Amino acid sequence: MASLLEELDFGNEAGDDADPADLATYFVEQSAFRSFLETDSKILVATAKKGVGKSALLQWAAHSLRGADQDSLVIKCRGADLVRYRNLD
């Protein structure tokens, strides 16, 4: 099993840096990810530990939805982007 995993190339290590079209060619789709493509869902949030593929998932979803549904919106942000800084001066 280890030799098989060593031969697999999952592409760029950071989903944020991957070209969405390239990512789609090697993205390993799981059944749970399908919910991100359902247009009936009002809002979905991807949460997980660092490094497990949240950015890749969102890149894949945005690429898959582009052209399929013009009303879909994929927002990518990190926790640090949501932190409100308080000036203590």
**Does the pLDDT of residue 10 top 70, yes or no?**
no
- Read off the pLDDT band of 1 (50, 70, 90): low
Distance CA 6, CA 46 (A): 28
- Write out the two tokens for 42: 């009002």
**Does the pLDDT of residue 12 top 70, yes or no?**
no
Q: Where are the domains of the chain?
A: 2-69
pLDDT digits (tens, 9 = 90+) for 40-89: 777 888 888 887 888 888 888 888 887 666 677 777 777 777 776 666 66
For residues 20-36, give the mean pLDDT: 83
Tell me if 16 sits within 8 A of 56, measured CB to CB. Answer: no
Distance CA 73, CA 65 (A): 9
Distance CA 31, CA 26 (A): 16
